[in-house]
Structure 1
Amino acid sequence: MRNHVPEGLLLLVLCLSFSNAETSVTHNLGASAGFPQMLALTYQANVSGLLTLEVYAGSLALLNSTAGGRLIVASTSNGFKPRCFIGFSVVDQYYAEYDNPQGTEFYVWTGTGLGYAFPCGIRIFADLGYISDGARDRGLGYSTGLSLSGGVLFRL
């Protein structure tokens, strides 16, 4: 028998976050680094008091490129706030030596972290996540595992 608690909980969070009529979308732009972003330009749209949509595009020393997005559940108010997320990452590995992977692969990315929002609009974050396994001969290779990333964003 399938357990429907996670879907129900996600639906509740979505309904509560969109129920606040006073919320307006705020836009943030900045840089992030780590895995899977590498060194990336990052854009976030705070669509409610609890939900943020993020997209990024990055690269590392012309050896690979990455792009992705995620849904972040966290309070957008000032101060320290825990956060959790689910998203995806697409990695294209240009250069390969010997048996290293080469090509493009899609990964699911999920995790948790901590963010701090300053009253002036600057936001910093650090996340610990898990990236799903991919194909052995493309992208990052078969076994990926834990990811660590962080960044700084400025309100537009």
Structure 2
Amino acid sequence: MYRVFASFAMLMTLGLAACGTDWSAGPDDGGASFSRRFHYYYEVDCRYDAFDQPYDCSDTYTMSPSMSVDLRITHDGYATLCVDDECSYYDPGEYDAGYDHGDRYYDFSGDDTRMVVYADGSELIYIDSYKGYASYYYHDYYDAY
């Protein structure tokens, strides 16, 4: 019996050493996949400064037509971001993920642009740092500015 237990313990030790301390197969969320479709009906446009702060914002207005966003992230971290059926594809190291407002967000950066999508769909932010403006999109009416 001791020999069986010792063999099992050695296999577990070898398995843990091979995996390392990071058991996740995908992004920072433990390797889970994510697939959601969001619809945004409201927009706020702002000027955007070099310190990543919006200012001089418009009132919230209704968009017509609405904007749809599909975000799919596989368990190994590959992402597909589609805005009104125009899709972009990202490898695991080409976007960032984090937490803000108490929810997870995904940050996709281009040359002078960024698109931040919140995992609950509450907000999408499009930032053009070259032109110095940002657009905030919401699925519910939101008057924060």
**For this structure pair, what is the TM-score category when the shorter chain's length is used for normalisation?**
0.3 to 0.5
TM-score, reference length from structure 1: 0.37
TM-score, reference length from structure 2: 0.39
Larger radius of gyration: 2
Between 1 and 2, higher relative CO (CA 8 Å, sep ≥ 6) is seen in 2
More strand by share: 1
